[in-house]
């Protein structure tokens, strides 16, 4: 039996919330390495029109996305796909990927990393956003030079 206690978060319970300075996105952290014995991190993301994450890749983590509401344009290893509610995407480590809300509506999704740990780098980068590239590299995440285009192109 695990020594950890189960985590139960009800809709009105406070959740650690972060976002990228100057952007309207909001990330609610639902599970961290501390609550999953390092197994995974899970985040609920609210992504307004025009926001997202630029193309990047992780050296240490696989990442999954599940679109809950709205639509998100994903860049995955050279392909673009528009994910509507119900879309699931699994990204193996070292695979270039990114996402952006190109619609005129707010979008929501869940995303997670396995193993956990990158959430510490995200918190560090948000606290020192001027040095985000160096902090990301410290945690095995690198930005990829890809000219973003719409999934319609």
Give this prediction's pTM: 0.86
Please tell me the distance from the alpha carbon of residue 90 to that of residue 97, in angstroms, as a whole number.
10
First-to-last CA distance in the chain?
52
What average pLDDT score do residues 117-138 get?
A: 82
The pLDDT value given to residue 41: 92
Q: Which neighbouring-strand residues pair with 73?
A: 82, 100
Query: Could you read off the pLDDT of 20-75 as tens digits, one per residue?
Result: 555 567 888 888 898 899 999 999 999 999 988 889 999 999 999 999 999 999 99
CB 97 within 8 A of CB 125: no
């Amino acid at each position: 039996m695990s020594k950890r206690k189960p985590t139960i978060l009800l809709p009105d319970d406070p959740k650690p919330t972060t976002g990228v300075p100057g952007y309207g996105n909001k990330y609610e952290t639902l599970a961290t390495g501390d609550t999953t014995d390092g197994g995974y991190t899970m985040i609920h993301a609210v992504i307004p029109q025009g926001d997202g994450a630029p193309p990047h890749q992780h050296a240490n983590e696989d990442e999954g996305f599940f679109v809950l509401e709205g639509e998100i344009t994903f860049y995955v290893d050279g392909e673009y796909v528009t994910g509507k509610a119900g879309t699931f995407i699994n990204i193996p480590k070292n695979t270039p990927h990114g996402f952006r809300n190109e619609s005129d509506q707010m979008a929501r999704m869940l995303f997670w990393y396995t193993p956990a740990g990158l959430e510490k780098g995200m918190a560090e980068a948000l606290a020192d956003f001027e040095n985000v590239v160096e902090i990301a590299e410290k945690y095995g995440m690198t930005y990829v030079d890809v000219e973003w285009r719409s999934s319609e192109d």
